[in-house]
Amino acid sequence: MATSDPAVLLGVRSGMSPWIDIARGAADEIRRSTGWRIILHLTDAPLRPGGLIRGRIRLVGAICRMGGSIDQEALDRLGCPAVVVSNNGTPHRCPRVGVDETAVGRLAARHLLGLGLRRFSYANSPAHFSQERGRAFAETVIAAGCDCLIADAHGEDDRRRFLARLTGLAQDGPIGLFAANDGLATSLVHWLLEAGLPVPERVAVLGVDDSADAQLAAPMPLSTIPLPGERIGVEAAHLLIDLVGGAQPPITPLLIPPALVLTRRSTDLTAGLEPRVAAALRFTAAHAHRNFAAAEVVAAAGCGRRTLEIVFRTTLGRTLQAEIRRAHVERALTLLATTDLPLAGVAAASGFSSPQRLSTVIREETGRQAGAFRRQPGLRG
């Protein structure tokens, strides 16, 4: 009797971030762990299992983005375990692996607060996840004693009202503007420049997705938060393999936080900062890989310690020591997200005395364990 080849249906949206990374992570992990075949289905096209599954192929599971041709009824028709990897509001009864949208908003706030900004705005989009990002962003900056303007910016009338309010807000000083995604951030940069509001000098703009299309369309390199698509795919693959093996589905979603901000021209405020503060920030960024003393930063700034502390508090709203700690943490998070270094190696390469100290500081600064920011699961120090 002929045997059948087990296969997994991978249903994703074509050509858009982070779906390519999710698909790659899931497919690579399923092939590596099980040898099962992959059937790729683009959710913009109708789902016809009979047309996808031919010959000796036996469908054992599915990893899908909800929407388009994929809804709960379509997943039920497949007759196999399924894992959802989207957060677009489409109802479903499947376990989900996805982006921690609250962590996205908090990371954006931490980045813009770290620039010394005290006025903030969030540009909302119609997407389901946008509300979660905006709420976390606003809560974080308000907790830091700042105000936050939240506004829709996806229609012509919305755009005019939003720009008018931003123009008024910018009269009191520079603004940190967080957009729900890179496409919206790119449009905002164009609109702001047309309205005579320099970016980043008057409005620092941060997006989400690290979208190649948006980067091409933006009038300057766009700062952005890349989403952990590949890791979502890997975790979804692990979960599906467990479900196929008979495990019970988890009750709550597995949410993966983003690890870092890619800082580019749209939030690079060092050129417009007080010169001594700018020199100090350049030093901390360049030397975050090693354990340096505050005295070295003071020397780079070319002034006394007391003077530098005063201008730091006045300009950035934090102490010199807090900035040194922030620089080391950002370096560590970047290494966790982009390398396979063990935790001890990350600690040594980001100025921490031990992996235990690194873990403690990351937990204090982010509320999460260091392992949550790993590029791939299963790599621990």
The Cα–Cα gap between 94 and 253 comes to 9
The Cα–Cα gap between 203 and 360 comes to 34
Per-residue pLDDT tens digits for 287-308: 989 999 999 999 999 999 999 9
Neighbouring C-beta atoms of residue 24, cutoff 10 Å: 17
pLDDT for residue 46: 63
Answer whether 122's CB lies under 8 Å from 106's CB: no
pLDDT for residue 376: 45
Residue 378 pLDDT > 80, yes or no?
Answer: no
Q: Which residues pair with 177 in a beta bridge?
A: 121, 205
DSSP letters, 285-298, are HHTTTS---HHHHH
The pLDDT of 361-372, averaged and rounded, is 85
The Cα–Cα gap between 326 and 114 comes to 8
The pLDDT of 317-338, averaged and rounded, is 86
Confidence label for 47 from pLDDT (cuts 50, 70 and 90): low
Residue 285 pLDDT > 60, yes or no?
Answer: yes
Residue 380 pLDDT > 70, yes or no?
Answer: no
Structure tokens at 298: 């003071």
- The residue among 275 and 34 whose pLDDT is bigger is 34
- The residue among 47 and 309 whose pLDDT is bigger is 309
Which CATH fold topology does 273-366 show?
Arc Repressor Mutant, subunit A (1.10.10)
pLDDT for residue 381: 31
Per-residue pLDDT tens digits for 187-244: 999 999 998 999 998 899 999 999 888 989 999 999 999 999 999 999 999 999 999 9
Neighbouring C-beta atoms of residue 176, cutoff 10 Å: 29
pLDDT for residue 176: 94
Per-residue pLDDT tens digits for 114-172: 887 889 999 998 888 899 999 999 999 998 888 899 988 877 888 888 888 988 888 88
pLDDT for residue 88: 72
| Sheet strand arrangement including 57-64 | 37-42, 5-12, 57-64, 82-84
Q: Report which DSSP code applies to 370.
A: G
Q: Does the fold of domain 273-366 match that of domain 5-98+229-256? A: no
- What pTM did the predictor assign? 0.80
> Quick one: CATH architecture of 5-98+229-256?
3-Layer(aba) Sandwich (3.40)
> Average pLDDT of the chain?
86
The Cα–Cα gap between 157 and 167 comes to 16
Confidence label for 93 from pLDDT (cuts 50, 70 and 90): confident
Q: Which CATH number fits domain 101-225: 3.40.50.300, 3.40.109.10, 3.40.50.2300, 3.30.70.100?
A: 3.40.50.2300
Helices (H) and strands (E) in the chain, counts: 15, 11
pLDDT for residue 51: 53
Torsion of CA 245, 247, 251, 254, to 10 degrees: -50
Residue 1 pLDDT > 50, yes or no?
Answer: no
The Cα–Cα gap between 98 and 108 comes to 18
Counting residues of the chain whose pLDDT is more than 90, the rounded percentage is 49
pLDDT for residue 379: 30
Counting residues of the chain whose pLDDT is more than 70, the rounded percentage is 92
Structural domain spans, the chain: 5-98+229-256, 101-225, 273-366
Cβ-based burial of 158 (10 A; exposed 0-12, middle 13-18, buried ≥19): middle
Residue 183 pLDDT > 70, yes or no?
Answer: yes
- The residue among 242 and 69 whose pLDDT is bigger is 242
Residue 50 pLDDT > 60, yes or no?
Answer: no
The Cα–Cα gap between 335 and 208 comes to 19
